[in-house]
Structure formats: C-alpha cells, structure tokens
Amino acid sequence: MSGDADVGEIPLVAGQLPAHVAIIMDGNGRWAEARGQARHAGHKAGVASVRSTIEECIRHEVRVLTLFAFSSENWRRPKSEVALLMDLFVAALQREFKRMQSNHIQLRVIGDIGAFPEKLQKRIRSTENATRANERLVLQIAANYGGRWDIVQAARRLASAARNGDLRPEDIDEKVFARATSISDLPDPDLFIRTGGDHRISNFLLWHSAYSELYFTPVLWPDFDAVEFRRALEDYAGRQRRFGRTGAQVEAGD
Ligand code: IPE
Ligand code: IPE
Ligand code: MG
C-alpha cells in the first residue's frame, strides 16, 4: 500500500468530481521487474488495481471510466506477453461478469476488436449485450485501441455516409465527427490519468482529451490503490477549467 494517512480526509464536493475518468494503466512490467519477477506477474497484479478503481468510481459517482488495456502498438510486444494479456482479459470478463451485473456496470470495449481471437470477440459481444441496460457506471475498456485509429475510423464512417447520400459534407462539424468516434454518446474525459511515471499520451484518446485535465503520477499501476485514486480526484477538484476563458470570467460564472 502506498499513500499518506491524511489523504481521504478532505471532503470531495460532488460538483468538483469528474464525470468521466480515463486511465493509461502503465508500469506493470517495471513493478514486476523491481521484485525480480517476470512481467506477467505485474499484469496479474494490475487486475486488483482495476477492481479497486472501479469500486472508487462507483463510490464517488463517476459515470464513465475508460481504461487503456491494450494499445494498437502493444502487438509489438513478445508473443507470450500478448497471449497472456489476452488470457487475462478473457478470464476477467468471465470472472467479473456477476459483479458487473450486481454493481450495475455497463461494459463497452472500444478499439479494433476484429483482430482478437474469436473466443475473446464473442465474450466481449456477449458481455456488452448482457450489461447494456446497466446505468451506474459505464466501464470502457480500450483494447487494440489507438487514438489515430479512432479518428480514421470516424472519418471512414462519415465518408461512407456521404457517399450513400445520408450526410452532406458541409454538415460535418465537431459534434457530428465526435459522434462517429468510438465513445460517441459519452462525455469527453474530464480527468486523464497516466500511472508509471511517463509523461505522454501514447496514442490514447487523442480527439477526446482536447480539454481533459492531465494527471501524471510515478506510482506504478499495481500500486495505484484507492488512496492514490482519491489523490488524483483531489488534485482534479483543485483545478480551474477555463476552456479558453480567463480565470476571472470563470470565477464570475460567465
Ligand atoms: C501497462 O504496463 C500494461 C500494458 C501496456 C498492457 P506495461 O506492461 O507497459 O509496464 P511497463 O511500462 O513496461 O512497466
Ligand atoms: C500505453 O502503455 C498502453 C497501455 C497502458 C495499454 P505503453 O507502456 O504501451 O506505452 P509506451 O509504449 O511506453 O508509450
Ligand atoms: Mg509501459
């Protein structure tokens, strides 16, 4: 466990909490290597952080949680590591299904899932269908996801709608474009967290993070517990989001 005893004592005000949190869960490999273990052990240990983060989101009434589980570039990793990540994903979907239902969690997977083994694709689709009506938390797992891929697939969708006569090119604006991306009907992330100490976006939600508050922590993902998550929420609560306006305008409520 990490964190100070005093974290958690500052009350978080509902209006200052993010509706959508997106997380690059990074640092599993280094966590394991620091213990003299194989990288696999870090990925397994990271599952507990996923669980505690989901619980904290429910507790704080965060409506959408998007977790970066596998990037479109992660195929470059050794075959055995890719295979283990797939196995962990299938096992988690299977094991957590009941808990998702009892906690009213709606699962969505964003990314190019056509590249995954058939068994995993089927499991993803059946879990999405079975949890579709759940409304407490939308849990989005970004798997074989790339921000550039998302923008390209949106452009492709719009181009084919235009070709079919369903859309006029001049009607494409930011709203229409956003709806064609994979998180179409959900708000953009308010808080964008990266664990593991690196300060980069790694092709995560490029379109959607235009005005997200970025939070980078050196804490490795398997050590990112409820205390660390709360620390990120507190940091977020202290930010002033200006969206182009001046600080004085925001304070005056203009
Ligand atoms: C993040 O941890 C998990 C995935 C990318 C699947 P890493 O595996 O990237 O861990 P580090 O960055 O090598 O420590
Ligand atoms: C980003 O982490 C992807 C996920 C957490 C799934 P990486 O560890 O793959 O990112 P880079 O390669 O260090 O940028
Ligand atoms: Mg990494």
102 within domain boundaries: yes
Lowest mean pLDDT among 23-32, 113-122, 169-178, 211-220: 113-122
Please indicate, yes or no, if residue 96 is contained in any of the structural domains. Answer: yes
Tell whether 235 is covered by a domain: yes
Confidence of residue 9 (pLDDT cuts 50, 70, 90): low
Q: Tell me if 167 is assigned to some domain.
A: yes
Q: Name the residue at shortest CA distance from atom 13 of ligand 2.
A: 202
| Domain assignment of residue 85, yes or no | yes
CA of 29 to the centre of ligand 1 (A): 5
The protein residue with its alpha carbon nearest to ligand 2, atom 3, reads 71
> How many domains, in total, are found in the chain?
1
The confidence band for 241, taking pLDDT boundaries of 50, 70 and 90, is very high
Q: In this predicted structure, which of 6-15, 41-50, 87-96 has the lowest mean pLDDT?
A: 6-15
Whole domain around residue 234: which residue ranges? Answer: 16-239
Residue 10 lies in a domain: no
Section 180-201 average pLDDT: 97
Task: Please work out whether the CB of residue 26 comes within 6 Å of at least one atom of ligand 2.
Answer: yes
Ligand nearest to the CA of 198: 2
Residue 13's pLDDT band, with cuts at 50, 70 and 90, is confident
The CB of 222 under 6 Å from ligand 1? The reply is: no
Q: Which ligand is nearest to the CA of 43?
A: 1
Query: How many Cα neighbours within 13 Å face the side chain of 27?
Result: 22
Give the CATH number for residue 234.
3.40.1180.10
Is 104 part of a structural domain of the chain?
yes
The model's pTM: 0.95
Cite the active site residues.
26, 74
Locate tokens 């994903």: which residue? 89
In a domain, 63, yes or no: yes
